[in-house]
Amino acid sequence: MTAEFAIQGLPVGRLAGTFGTPLYLYDGEILRRRWAGLRAGLPPAMEVFYSLKANPNLSICALLRGLGARAEVSSLAELVTAQRAGVPAGHIVFLGPGKTVDEVDACLRAGVAAIVCESFGELDLIDERARAHGTVAPVMLRVNPGFAVKGSALTMGGRPGQFGIDEAHLLATGPGRLRRPGVRLTGIHTYVGTRILNEQVVAENTARILELADRLSRHGGFPLEMVDVGGGLGIAYFDGERDLDLDLLTGLLTPIVGDFAARHPRTRILLEVGRYLAGPAGVYVTRVNYTKTSHGENFAIVDGGTNHHMAAVGVGTLVKRNYPLALLNRMDEPRTERWHVTGPLCTPNDTLGKAVGLPPVRVGDLVGVLRSGAYGPSASPVLFLSHGHPAEVLVDRGRAYLIRRRDTVDDLLRAQHLSDDLMAGTPHPMTEGAAR
Ligand SMILES: *Cc1c(COP(=O)(O)O)cnc(C)c1O
């Protein structure tokens, strides 16, 4: 018996045959389930904004928009992606610590729900550009709070950082100094960490941010039209981790949000969610091109690695921990052996899985990295060694859609320019001499 991994009845071998490898496969059914579960679990007053950073594919964004997701974007291309996916401008917020004039202008032209301002310098720029456009920009102030959050994989807040304006600076600033004719202050934004797997921490965060927003808007003398409590909801990747318990989270959040909403009935409460929605929906599918042993250990060399999935490789982390890996074409075989699953790059770090328990691996097998729908190719050096972007396929309602084709060599070289002068070259004195 050979149980083969399948998405909505489509076997992975057939999908890999049709679209080639390496390949990102997304399951629309899982996206829908994640959305429905989260929506049902969250207090109704909370609006969910999909963070395109997690997976900026147009079709993924459009599917989530169809379910009711709004969009949180951080670049010009992400803004246009959200718009092409059908997200109305009034459902888009734009953030990022280094906004350019072009980005601010695009936000003003589009009429986004809010620009999230991350510094006093940016407040001046937004003011200037809004007045040039003859408009008033809705602006949320991003705050670097005085408190830090424990239990997050990446802690922001309560320490020096490039994001937002320090809470202490805002408190030291009189309301008059925040006023700009081109700016309408609409609220407070805080995002303090990602990959949070503790329900209590999420709830505590939310409570502290709501309290902070209340306090800072009163200090700043502007009405709290909206408060963005960030997010950072995690998913389990590694041994010993467990997914968030939504029932538990709902139970903790409901009174906190309910209490705030009762006191601020007109304030919109925004939650940003990337990984939680997209992560479980994706599998990175690679094919084994070679197997070998070296110094007594097994290596399966597959056709993709760091270049498409830096997070699974763990570049930049201190200890290599394995994402969930599986031999997709023989899911039910006992994992009796240990294999290093390595990619095609010419660097020893290019290891998708280290000493992974797998059945005996053969050339032609498909090895998948599960839970890979977030922070995949867009968060990886896809140009490293010039392999280019992998194909992406979304299976939805039983049909497979190619939602991004893999890069061709022409795609990779198109943007480069070689002038005739450089091609002809100035003869090197040595070769010139030798030719004579
Ligand atoms: C990255 C980011 C997110 C998305 O984080 P996830 O952990 O993927 O949900 C949301 N908001 C801000 C400000 C971010 O920087």
Q: What is the pLDDT of residues 282-321, one digit of tens each?
A: 999 999 999 999 999 999 999 999 999 999 999 878 889 9
Ligand 1 atom nearest residue 142's Cα:
13
Q: Is the CB of 164 under 6 A from ligand 1?
A: no
Query: Nearest to residue 9, comparing CAs of 22, 23, 24, 27?
Result: 27
What's at 10, amino acid-wise? L
Would you say domain 88-273 falls under CATH 3.40.50.2300?
Answer: no
Judge contact between 283 and 33, C-beta under 8 A. no
* C-alpha to C-alpha distance for 382 and 367, rounded to whole angstroms: 19
Ligand 1 atom nearest residue 116's Cα:
13
Length of the chain: 436
Enter the pTM of the model: 0.95
Tell me what pLDDT residue 107 has. 98
* C-alpha to C-alpha distance for 244 and 241, rounded to whole angstroms: 10
- Mean pLDDT within 69-81: 98
Q: Is the CB of 53 under 6 A from ligand 1?
A: yes
**Cis omega before residue 145 (within 30°)?**
no
Q: Is the CB of 95 under 6 A from ligand 1?
A: yes
Judge contact between 254 and 245, C-beta under 8 A. no
Ligand 1 atom nearest residue 277's Cα:
9
Write out pLDDT tens, residues 121-178: 999 999 999 999 999 999 999 999 987 766 666 566 778 899 999 999 999 998 888 9
- Mean pLDDT within 338-360: 96
Distances (CA, A) of 196 to 72, 78, 245, 276, 422: 19, 24, 12, 10, 52
| Best residue among 271, 272, 375 to mutate for probing ligand 1, ranked by most atoms within 8 Å of CB | 272
Q: Whose CA is nearest to atom 13 of ligand 1?
A: 191
Instruction: For the chain, count helices (H), then strands (E).
Output: 15, 22
CA of 274 to the centre of ligand 1 (A): 6
Tokens, residue 25: 């496969």
Judge contact between 209 and 227, C-beta under 8 A. yes
Topology given in CATH for the domain delimited by 280-414: Lyase, Ornithine Decarboxylase; Chain A, domain 1 (2.40.37)
Q: Is the CB of 350 under 6 A from ligand 1?
A: no
In a 13 Å sphere around the CA of 110, the CA atoms on its Cβ side amount to 28
Q: Is the CB of 51 under 6 A from ligand 1?
A: yes
| Best residue among 49, 52, 53 to mutate for probing ligand 1, ranked by most atoms within 8 Å of CB | 53
Tell me what pLDDT residue 236 has. 98
Query: Nearest to residue 280, comparing CAs of 196, 371, 370, 369?
Result: 371
Q: Is the CB of 256 under 6 A from ligand 1?
A: no
* C-alpha to C-alpha distance for 279 and 376, rounded to whole angstroms: 9
- Mean pLDDT within 215-238: 96
Q: What residue ranges of the chain are covered by domains with CATH 2.40.37.10?
A: 280-414
Q: What residue ranges of the chain are covered by domains with CATH 3.20.20.10?
A: 88-273
